[in-house]
């Protein structure tokens, strides 16, 4: 009798579980579908660009200046400009963003003033990028008289991605567990020593990741660059940062006029000549490739840092 009832309940349990597992498996299927759809869209886009731009995807494309003839127009000045702008942006954003995040996370007292700052930092991430362009035009180009140069572009994009970097850095700093800080304090370290010797080094992975995510956002920004006056037909390069004479390093290139990848693409797409569409597609494929490459570096960095430090 006992065995009989036990048997029945086991069957009941099995039926119950398999009924509930249906929803479990259903969600897996739905999730996979959605994910693959998104990836599919991206893949289709990429393949489309590559296909359309295939005729122009060669070395000459990368080493030629823009020209009125589509078959001779290249993106040399564009990708050099983009690269230099990224370097400038990184150089400006990194210290400011990290310092601001350190202040907010480690030093700022928890009062209403700090709360206001924090809210505003997060809000700034949502400001439309063209607003930054207008701000930069008024402030950097005219007020500070920096002109329509790479330096201005760098400053503008820095403002744009600063909130991203600050938030990401704060998250990275926060991830350093409290016991580690306490251990350092207990040994007699000052707040700065705790930050510089422990908190910063251990969160470097997260900070770099945040930096690169910010840069991959900046790389595709067109509106602010147009606003501050990026040219779209320049047949020259900014001055080389490396010179033949002492001190072998020059910053003259910061003062040069520039163009950037998105600008060049926009310019070609607007032309009536269908040949230029091919160029635009090729440039788009390369730009996408650059972005994916940067994100790949970010992921690799995060993986490497996470291996070394597992809390």
**Is residue 180 close enough to count as binding other proteins by CB under 8 A?**
yes
**Is residue 190 close enough to count as binding other proteins by CB under 8 A?**
yes
Span from 34-42, 47-55, 138-146, 193-201 in contact with other proteins (CB under 8 A)? 193-201
Nearest to 98 by CA among 214, 20, 193, 183: 214
d(CA 257, CA 141): 12
**Is residue 187 close enough to count as binding other proteins by CB under 8 A?**
yes
Span from 68-76, 115-123, 187-195, 211-219 in contact with other proteins (CB under 8 A)? 187-195
**Is residue 179 close enough to count as binding other proteins by CB under 8 A?**
yes
* Residue for token pair 């959605």: 34
Q: Shortest Cβ distance from residue 120 to other proteins (Å)?
A: 22
User: Which of 72, 197 has the CB closer to other proteins?
Assistant: 197
Omega of the bond prior to 122 within 30 degrees of 0, cis?
A: no
Nearest to 124 by CA among 143, 97, 86, 142: 97
Per-residue x/- mask for other proteins, residues 73 to 112, rule CB under 8 A?
------------------------------------xx--
Nearest to 80 by CA among 239, 280, 229, 217: 239
User: Which of 68, 191 has the CB closer to other proteins?
Assistant: 191
Tokens matching residue 16: 């119950």
Contact 129, 224 (CB under 8 A): yes
Q: Shortest Cβ distance from residue 1 to other proteins (Å)?
A: 38
Q: Shortest Cβ distance from residue 179 to other proteins (Å)?
A: 4
Span from 30-38, 72-80, 190-198, 260-268 in contact with other proteins (CB under 8 A)? 190-198
Per-residue x/- mask for other proteins, residues 194 to 213, rule CB under 8 A?
---xx---x-----------
Nearest to 84 by CA among 206, 225, 213: 225
Contact 284, 110 (CB under 8 A): no
d(CA 12, CA 8): 6
Q: Shortest Cβ distance from residue 186 to other proteins (Å)?
A: 4
Span from 84-92, 178-186, 210-218, 261-269 in contact with other proteins (CB under 8 A)? 178-186
**Is residue 120 close enough to count as binding other proteins by CB under 8 A?**
no
Number of residues that bind other proteins (CB under 8 A): 22
Identify the residue among 4, 188, 247, 272 touching other proteins (CB under 8 A). 188
At how many degrees (to 10) do helices 200-218 and 274-308 cross? 170
**Is residue 118 close enough to count as binding other proteins by CB under 8 A?**
no
In the chain the first and final C-alpha atoms are separated, in Å, by 55
Torsion from C-alpha of 151, 156, 159, 162, nearest 10 degrees: -70
Contact 107, 268 (CB under 8 A): no
Applying CB under 8 A, the residues found at the interface with other proteins are 109-110, 177, 179-190, 193, 197-198, 202, 308-310
């Amino acid at each position: 009798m006992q065995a009989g009832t036990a048997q029945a309940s086991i069957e009941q349990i099995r039926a119950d579980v398999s009924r509930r597992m249906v929803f479990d498996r259903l969600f897996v299927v739905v999730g996979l579908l959605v994910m693959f759809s998104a990836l599919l869209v991206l893949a289709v886009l990429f393949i489309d660009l590559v296909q359309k731009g295939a005729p122009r995807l060669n070395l000459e494309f990368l080493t030629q200046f823009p020209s009125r003839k589509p078959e001779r127009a290249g993106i040399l000045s564009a990708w050099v400009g983009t690269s230099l702008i990224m370097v400038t942006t990184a150089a400006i954003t990194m210290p400011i963003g990290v310092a601001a995040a350190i202040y907010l996370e480690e030093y700022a007292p928890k009062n209403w003033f700090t709360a206001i700052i924090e809210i505003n930092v997060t809000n700034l991430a949502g400001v439309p990028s063209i607003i930054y362009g207008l701000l930069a035009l008024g402030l950097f180009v005219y007020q500070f008289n920096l002109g329509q140069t790479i330096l201005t572009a760098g400053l503008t994009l820095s403002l744009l991605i600063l909130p991203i970097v600050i938030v990401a850095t704060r998250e990275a700093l926060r991830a350093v567990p409290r016991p580690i800080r306490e251990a350092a304090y207990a040994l007699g370290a000052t707040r700065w020593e705790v930050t510089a010797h422990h908190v910063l080094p251990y969160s470097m992975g997260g900070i770099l990741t945040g930096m690169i995510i910010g840069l991959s956002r900046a790389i595709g920004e067109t509106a602010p660059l147009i606003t501050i006056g990026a040219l779209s037909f320049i047949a020259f390069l900014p001055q080389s940062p490396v010179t033949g004479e002492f001190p072998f390093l020059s910053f003259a290139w910061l003062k040069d006029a520039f163009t950037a990848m998105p600008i060049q693409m926009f310019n070609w797409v607007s032309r009536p000549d269908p040949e230029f569409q091919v160029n635009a597609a090729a440039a788009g494929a390369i730009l996408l490739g650059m972005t994916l490459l940067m994100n790949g570096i970010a992921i690799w960095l995060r993986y490497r840092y996470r291996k070394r430090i597992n809390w």
